[in-house]
Structure 1
Amino acid sequence: MQLCTSFTLLLILCANIIGRVHSEGPTSHSVNVNLIDRQIHLVTSGFSSVFWNYIRSSNGSLDSVSSQCSSHLSKLIESSLKGHPLAFKFLSLSGSRPNNFLDATYAAFGSYDSCLAISPFHEDKDDQTIKGKYCLTSLEPDLHRNGQSNGQILSQLYPHHFDAEFNFTIKVGFCVPSVCSQNDVQQIITQAFTEYSWKLVDVHSCEVETNFFDRLKSANKGQQFFLWLLVTLVCVVMMATYMDLKGRSTVDERSSLFWVQQFSAKKSVKSLFRKPDAGSRITILDSLRLTTLIIVVVSHATMWYTVISSTFLVEDNQYVLDLLSKFYLQPVVNDWITEGLFFLGGVGSAITLLRKMKPETPATQYLNVIIRRAALLIPLLIPAIALEVILPLVGSGPIYQSINQYRSNVCLKNFWMNLLHIQNYRSGLEMCALATWSIAVEWQLFVFACILIYIYKRNNRLGLTLNILTILFGLYRVIVIFSKHDALPHPVMIGKHFRDILDRGNYYYIATDAHIWSYFLAILFVVMMAGNYEAKIKETLPRYNIWVYSLLVMLLYSSSLWNTFGMKIEPITTLICVCFSKFVVGSWCMSVFMSHGRKIRRFLAQSKSVDMYIHPEEPNSQLFASKDEIAASNNNLELMTKTEMNNRKERSRLRKLHRFEIVLRIFKPAYFVHTTVYAWYFTSLRSTIAPSLLNYISFTTSLVTLALFCGFFFHILILGPIERINYISSKKKTKAKMHSS
């Protein structure tokens, strides 16, 4: 069977080269026969064969390798030649060649667990402690060795995209005796593959068998600090739960034990099923928040290995590229949902601020709201950061340490940016808790939204003017970003490399100024809904929804122009696509909320503020209010009186647990931990991922389930207690204001 495989690969390579030689004409004489012969031997025998054959041919004299390592490698070869079973097995544990190697597959891990667990391979009693050490390495063809013509041949033979900065290299695991150092392995591989015109990029890690306590001893101070922080949090939860179960709770808010007992796991579990407060919800907002969370958690499950620079896990990358070029998959590679996310955030912020603030509200209270919002996020971010920092301590795998230790070091270096909510100003590879970038962007936009609402409350016309100018400025910044950085029109373009996709993410996707337009369009939209301006839109454009959704379908499949039909990426077509995208997404977002204008007006009418015109719900032939009608105090009083019975019905309905409420509360904590869970899963894999629809469905389902399970514990540990403490504090302040008045 091995002979047939080798012969088949030999025929494929020869046919590949001969075909290219005939097609290239005059360059046929420059073909290096020795180079081709070496590549045939490499792909038929594998990387481990080249590695061990070089050691065997060296006869124990390996340059720049420690004498201890060289001696044990020689003993290993001798033992295998004598037929020692364990020595023979030892030679088989290194990675040979990636499956479907010539279909752009990158990884040959070998037998990771067997390598670490293998017993001594010879009878020497002095060497009984010598076991296996697993070293993960990166290699790539040396395109600049022995002239340009040889480099062209190698690039034609191997269809891979090589980019060491983003881990696009051939990953091979080598099993060596534990006495060999990382430098020893580096020297041997460099020498062994030089004559094959392959070069060593890096030895990522060399591991021996360890357990959690071994890894804890060697952990740095930052990892130990965050680990003990999580342990302390768990102890507090256990103590609070014990107090709750034993009936030792207190209702005295002046006692420190009162706040400690809010961390009770019993209370946190109950909070998942509590009824929502009357009058504090708009159903469409909760539904869209849930939809957004589900999309984020599920979509990240299918592609998070690319975010942690582990794309080499997928076998046959060409299959993936072919799949992404399919017409029916184009809506998946479009980032229209991201703009909808920030529009939703803008609507929520606008409704909250317009309802809460009054014309006489001082700027200090706006500042207090900004700081309070930032402060409430910090207790949630710290455990999420801690989990990413300690991840190298709680798992193993061929790539586990090399990937997760890098992410841990990044977090220890940059976690302070997360606490200040400015982490999106780092590149994706240098950002801690990467999925929290949207939290930072939304908080930054919220700061400017507070300034705008402050102006709205004092001068409606000036606020409206600044709102429109801010939207135009946001669109201008989008055009500048795409023009200046030559960004891709869509997040996934199969004709471009990962570097181009990552650049688009850094310059546009996670940039605050790229989302100004959608966030402030949402604020303008809420102001319009309060005045029932959607009625004018519906009268002017009676088929508004039909043409909006028709344009949305066109937008969803617009990426097919490049991915399916092969249109060349040009700056002008990119800008046209971007402008079309913003127009359609803005229209679509407004269309989604337009049918809920009455609910938004009722919600705003519950405010005691009398500065804002809110259109009455009774039939009115005039779609726009006159100057007399814009006397906001009379208008609001009239509206509140006439909708009192409706509000009572609304409160009764809200007391019943909404069908989305429990699911929303489960997915919310999953958002904070899902990326760490996915990183743990993908880096724990012992083999590559076969690219099939069934496999993707299987591991996506498993990952989402695991994320929800871990999110449940995150809710018990921190999210539930923080929400409960915030609720009690807000009620306390409300009572204090009522007593003072």
Structure 2
Amino acid sequence: MLHEVGSFLVLLSITVNCVLSQDTNIYFPNRGNSTNTENSSTPIEKRNNSSSETESILKDLQTTYNATNHSSRFESSWFVEFPSLPDVFITSTSLPDGECMRQTLRYLQELRNGTLWAFQMYDSSSKRFEGIISGNTRHYGNFDQCFNLEAILPVNENHPDSDRIAGRYCLIDFKFQKTHVMPHVSKPYVMEFDPNGPAWDAIQERGDFRRVKRYLMQLALCVPASCTAKDVEVALTETFKKFGIARNMRIETTVKQEHCQTKDELLEFSTASWIYCYVLLTLLALVVVGNWYDSSMENNELTDKSAIKDLILCFSPRRNLKTIFTATYNHPGLDCIHMIRIFFMSLVIFGHRTMQYYTNPVINANYLEWTYTFPSAMMVHNGTVIVDAYFGIGGLLVAYGILQELDKKKKISVIGLILVRFLRLTPSYMLVVFFNALILPHLGTGPYWEVKIGKESQSCRSNWWTNLLYVNNYVNPQNFCMFQAWYLAVDFHMYILGIFVVYVFWKWPRKLGYTLLVVLTIVSCVIPFVHTYFYNMQPIFMGLPYMREVRDDFYFINYYIKSHMRASSYLIGIIAGAIIHDHKKSTWKLTKAWSRIFFALFAVVLSINIQAFSFKFIDINAEKGPLITALFASLHRAAFSMSMCSVVVLITVGQGLDFHYNFLTPAWAQPLSRLTYGAFLVHNVNQIYEISVARVGRVFTFHNLIWDFVPDILFTMIISLILSITVEGPFKNIEKRFIIHKANQRDRETSNVAQKPKKID
């Protein structure tokens, strides 16, 4: 029964193609002479086979897609008559001699016979496009049916040797363009088109850069595993080229190596991967031993102060959990930072989830495009300014902490501060980097697995050292590992700069010190102004529906992730930290009225207006001059940083903000805030994994976006807690016990020696 059904469906598909080309018998030249298809002679084995029947079949099959058999009309025929992709491949005479051609001919023979594996291979492929007008430009076919295909082919009179065939799943890229016709471009650029107008108007770009490029399309094709990406491209190119020429079109067909995958080429578990697993087991063993040893101690106090026992206790999950979940609020302004961190980390996760809809197949991309016409949606589409809030808070804490240290000790160790920072950030960071490089590629398969996970893994294996040295935003930035890791590089660079800036500020008189900070901030704003004004760069990062790879975005790679382009936000934070530190010596307080007015103006009105004004630069119909664009590029990040830092400053120096303080300091905020670094590191793993294993395109709705975001938060916080217990917390304890503690001990000994009275002879 399955045999007859399979044969019927294949025949039906082929018949439709034949009707379109006005030749219903070309697939079966012997149809009129034989009533039993299975018993008909099919001597197709090799290209050099001189059999007249083989030559006749190949010649007749090729004429199916010969461009001269089609109408030359463009508008009405090209989409309707677009050839079925698997039919073009199996009838191609462009395949080079070799195993691929031999197995393809066997595939054709078995398909005519209705053999299950051949029907499975044919059925796995996308046949034509659908939903193009709505922006559905990428079609998956059936990945698993192709990827898991495997069969041992029996010997017959035409194939005397037994053979094995497997499926190779390929994504074929098409680019459609009219020849000798310039697209009509005029304002206003629109998202919707006249339903009575030409269909091509909705497919071409029409000057509106926000729209998905509907002339870039992708279909899935299942071929024998012996065929390479190059073989497939050669087999398809000539036929589609002729098809396009006959319709005044230019059709480019591309098959990338990473777009083709077969089960036979799955990545093997390497020695480095095993070493990584052993490292994880060692960390887990240390946690178990630390918990056992901590539990066996009386009153949790050490009687033997040995370094080994101290090291074991650093991994105690009981102590690390206690550290995480103990809330200690002791500074009105700084206490609010915990809630700010949680809020903005949630927005970071939400924003990166939204970006997955930009760079991956979406069935209803027109709905995503529609959101760009609403200013209120800029809180999502220009969500990148969230990062500047983090830079501002980071600069504030660095300035306040170093000034406190200088007041206490009158000196700082630059090398010591950098080393402590490095040890605090790097262990968890490298654990995630090597997870992406060594373990993640073994955890699944999918249509975009090699495109997403495979590329991420390869980048991490090649460029992990740039992450380790925190130079990944300047060295090989296009081959980045963990696309969000650029933030850590910028933060590390700004931390080093901040040490020197704060030290000079502390040494100089305050008026001169604040003048220095203001001048540096102005200079840091001038840099993006110059780049934007003189090089005609966009003022903001635009994650748009047409984007397929962030690493291919010129602005992201060359401007957005560079430290010198982000310094202004950090320097605003340093100024805020200096103000908070210096206010300790003053009894002056801002009045209740002015505190509330400034809070509303800076924390609320300023931040909202920054987002509202940014809509001007994403609205293609809005008029904006180069000067306004450059000014916005230079000031909006610093302004948003100032907006968020003002919350901390105003609660520190103001009055009448008790409600604001209580709202920003719930008991649960500080524990969750301690998990935000781990959340930053791991949240994208879940997102990229989910996209890579997806078998169908996503549907964009706000409901789906929210219900993608909620599991993201839960999963991320759970993994972050585990990471904090096993890596982040223990290494922070090691840093305190064996570096900071010993450094403080040496300082005390030096101080005691200096204060010891000398003997008078």
> Displacement, 1:138?
2.2
Amino acid at match of 1:238: A
Separation in structure 2 between the aligned mates of residue 499 and residue 86 of structure 1, nearest angstrom: 35
User: Compared with structure 1, are the counterparts of its residues 156 and 33 closer, same or farther at alpha carbon in structure 2 (3 Å cutoff)?
Assistant: farther
1:295 and 2:337 aligned: no
The answer for the alignment partner of 1:176 in structure 2 is 223
Separation in structure 1 between the aligned mates of residue 726 and residue 564 of structure 2, nearest angstrom: 35
Separation in structure 1 between the aligned mates of residue 497 and residue 77 of structure 2, nearest angstrom: 63
Pick one of 82, 95, 98 that aligns with 1:67: 98
User: Compared with structure 1, are the counterparts of its residues 578 and 240 closer, same or farther at alpha carbon in structure 2 (3 Å cutoff)?
Assistant: closer
Percent identity, aligned pairs only, is: 17
1:416 and 2:465 aligned: yes
> Displacement, 1:260?
4.7
Separation in structure 1 between the aligned mates of residue 577 and residue 601 of structure 2, nearest angstrom: 22
What is the TM-score when the length of structure 2 is the normalising length? 0.74
Q: Are the counterparts in 1 of residues 579 and 649 from structure 2 also a CA contact under 8 Å?
A: no
The answer for the alignment partner of 1:686 in structure 2 is 695
User: Compared with structure 1, are the counterparts of its residues 577 and 727 closer, same or farther at alpha carbon in structure 2 (3 Å cutoff)?
Assistant: same
The answer for the alignment partner of 2:369 in structure 1 is 321
User: Compared with structure 1, are the counterparts of its residues 142 and 556 closer, same or farther at alpha carbon in structure 2 (3 Å cutoff)?
Assistant: closer
The answer for the alignment partner of 1:589 in structure 2 is 644
1:402 and 2:447 aligned: no
Separation in structure 1 between the aligned mates of residue 322 and residue 129 of structure 2, nearest angstrom: 50
SS at match of 1:195: helix
Q: Which moved more, 1:194-203 or 1:109-118?
A: 194-203
The answer for the alignment partner of 1:354 in structure 2 is 403
Q: Deviations over 1:309-346 (max 9, x none)?
A: xx241224333222122232122223432322211111
SS at match of 2:683: helix
Q: Are the counterparts in 2 of residues 133 and 208 from structure 1 also a CA contact under 8 Å?
A: yes
Q: Are the counterparts in 2 of residues 489 and 578 from structure 1 also a CA contact under 8 Å?
A: yes
> Displacement, 1:449?
1.7
The answer for the alignment partner of 2:538 in structure 1 is 488
User: Compared with structure 1, are the counterparts of its residues 251 and 108 closer, same or farther at alpha carbon in structure 2 (3 Å cutoff)?
Assistant: farther
SS at match of 2:263: coil
Q: Are the counterparts in 2 of residues 327 and 564 from structure 1 also a CA contact under 8 Å?
A: no
> Displacement, 1:687?
1.3
Q: Deviations over 1:629-660 (max 9, x none)?
A: xxxxxxxxxxxxxxxxxxxxx9xx9xx99321
1:517 and 2:563 aligned: no
Q: Which moved more, 1:421-430 or 1:388-397?
A: 421-430
Amino acid at match of 2:676: F
Q: By percentage of residues, which structure has more helix?
A: 1
Alignment of 1:106-505 (within 5 A): 106-120=137-151, 123-124=154-155, 127=162, 129-141=164-176, 147-149=179-181, 156=201, 158-159=203-204, 169-197=216-244, 198-203=251-256, 204-209=258-263, 215-217=267-269, 224-225=271-272, 228-242=275-289, 244-245=291-292, 254-256=306-308, 258-260=310-312, 262-264=314-316, 268-274=320-326, 276=328, 282-304=334-356, 306=358, 311-334=359-382, 335-358=384-407, 361-362=410-411, 365-390=413-438, 391-426=440-475, 429-461=478-510, 462-492=512-542, 502-505=553-556
Q: Are the counterparts in 2 of residues 285 and 348 from structure 1 also a CA contact under 8 Å?
A: no
Pick one of 76, 80, 84 that aligns with 2:115: 84
The answer for the alignment partner of 2:3 in structure 1 is none
> Displacement, 1:114?
0.9
- Contiguous gaps of at least 5 residues in structure 1: 11-31, 600-616, 618-649
The answer for the alignment partner of 2:6 in structure 1 is none
The answer for the alignment partner of 1:668 in structure 2 is 677
Pick one of 654, 662, 677 that aligns with 2:686: 677
Separation in structure 2 between the aligned mates of residue 473 and residue 739 of structure 1, nearest angstrom: 43
- Contiguous gaps of at least 5 residues in structure 2: 1-8, 21-67, 185-197, 245-250, 656-660, 753-761
Separation in structure 1 between the aligned mates of residue 214 and residue 453 of structure 2, nearest angstrom: 14
Q: Deviations over 1:465-497 (max 9, x none)?
A: 321211111121231132233222333386997
SS at match of 1:567: coil
User: Compared with structure 1, are the counterparts of its residues 65 and 265 closer, same or farther at alpha carbon in structure 2 (3 Å cutoff)?
Assistant: farther
Alignment of 1:623-634 (within 5 A): none
Separation in structure 2 between the aligned mates of residue 467 and residue 284 of structure 1, nearest angstrom: 24
Separation in structure 1 between the aligned mates of residue 566 and residue 202 of structure 2, nearest angstrom: 44
Separation in structure 1 between the aligned mates of residue 748 and residue 419 of structure 2, nearest angstrom: 24
User: Compared with structure 1, are the counterparts of its residues 419 and 584 closer, same or farther at alpha carbon in structure 2 (3 Å cutoff)?
Assistant: closer
Q: Are the counterparts in 2 of residues 411 and 431 from structure 1 also a CA contact under 8 Å?
A: yes
The answer for the alignment partner of 2:625 in structure 1 is 570
> Displacement, 1:116?
1.9
> Displacement, 1:690?
1.5
> Displacement, 1:301?
1.8
1:97 and 2:128 aligned: yes
Amino acid at match of 2:167: G
Q: Are the counterparts in 2 of residues 234 and 717 from structure 1 also a CA contact under 8 Å?
A: no
User: Compared with structure 1, are the counterparts of its residues 547 and 712 closer, same or farther at alpha carbon in structure 2 (3 Å cutoff)?
Assistant: closer
Amino acid at match of 1:468: V
User: Compared with structure 1, are the counterparts of its residues 669 and 585 closer, same or farther at alpha carbon in structure 2 (3 Å cutoff)?
Assistant: closer
Separation in structure 2 between the aligned mates of residue 356 and residue 64 of structure 1, nearest angstrom: 72
Amino acid at match of 1:290: I
Q: Which moved more, 1:435-444 or 1:580-589?
A: 580-589
Q: Are the counterparts in 2 of residues 411 and 432 from structure 1 also a CA contact under 8 Å?
A: yes
> Displacement, 1:39?
8.2
Q: Are the counterparts in 1 of residues 290 and 317 from structure 2 also a CA contact under 8 Å?
A: no
Separation in structure 2 between the aligned mates of residue 493 and residue 421 of structure 1, nearest angstrom: 25
Amino acid at match of 2:86: F
User: Compared with structure 1, are the counterparts of its residues 33 and 284 closer, same or farther at alpha carbon in structure 2 (3 Å cutoff)?
Assistant: farther
Q: Are the counterparts in 1 of residues 126 and 139 from structure 2 also a CA contact under 8 Å?
A: yes
Separation in structure 1 between the aligned mates of residue 628 and residue 335 of structure 2, nearest angstrom: 39
Q: Which moved more, 1:318-327 or 1:582-591?
A: 582-591
> Displacement, 1:499?
9.4
Q: Which moved more, 1:470-479 or 1:723-732?
A: 723-732
Q: Are the counterparts in 2 of residues 286 and 660 from structure 1 also a CA contact under 8 Å?
A: yes
User: Compared with structure 1, are the counterparts of its residues 493 and 714 closer, same or farther at alpha carbon in structure 2 (3 Å cutoff)?
Assistant: closer
Q: Are the counterparts in 2 of residues 274 and 657 from structure 1 also a CA contact under 8 Å?
A: no
Amino acid at match of 1:472: I
Amino acid at match of 1:571: P
Amino acid at match of 1:667: T
Amino acid at match of 2:169: Y
User: Compared with structure 1, are the counterparts of its residues 236 and 442 closer, same or farther at alpha carbon in structure 2 (3 Å cutoff)?
Assistant: closer
Q: CA RMSD in A?
A: 4.1
User: Compared with structure 1, are the counterparts of its residues 441 and 679 closer, same or farther at alpha carbon in structure 2 (3 Å cutoff)?
Assistant: same
> Displacement, 1:509?
2.6
1:527 and 2:578 aligned: yes
User: Compared with structure 1, are the counterparts of its residues 123 and 40 closer, same or farther at alpha carbon in structure 2 (3 Å cutoff)?
Assistant: farther
Amino acid at match of 2:431: P
Separation in structure 1 between the aligned mates of residue 89 and residue 545 of structure 2, nearest angstrom: 39
Q: Are the counterparts in 1 of residues 398 and 577 from structure 2 also a CA contact under 8 Å?
A: no
Separation in structure 1 between the aligned mates of residue 209 and residue 444 of structure 2, nearest angstrom: 28
> Displacement, 1:704?
2.9
The answer for the alignment partner of 1:612 in structure 2 is none
Amino acid at match of 2:464: F
Q: Are the counterparts in 1 of residues 678 and 723 from structure 2 also a CA contact under 8 Å?
A: yes
> Displacement, 1:115?
0.9
Separation in structure 2 between the aligned mates of residue 119 and residue 210 of structure 1, nearest angstrom: 10
SS at match of 2:168: strand
Separation in structure 2 between the aligned mates of residue 594 and residue 327 of structure 1, nearest angstrom: 30
1:550 and 2:605 aligned: yes
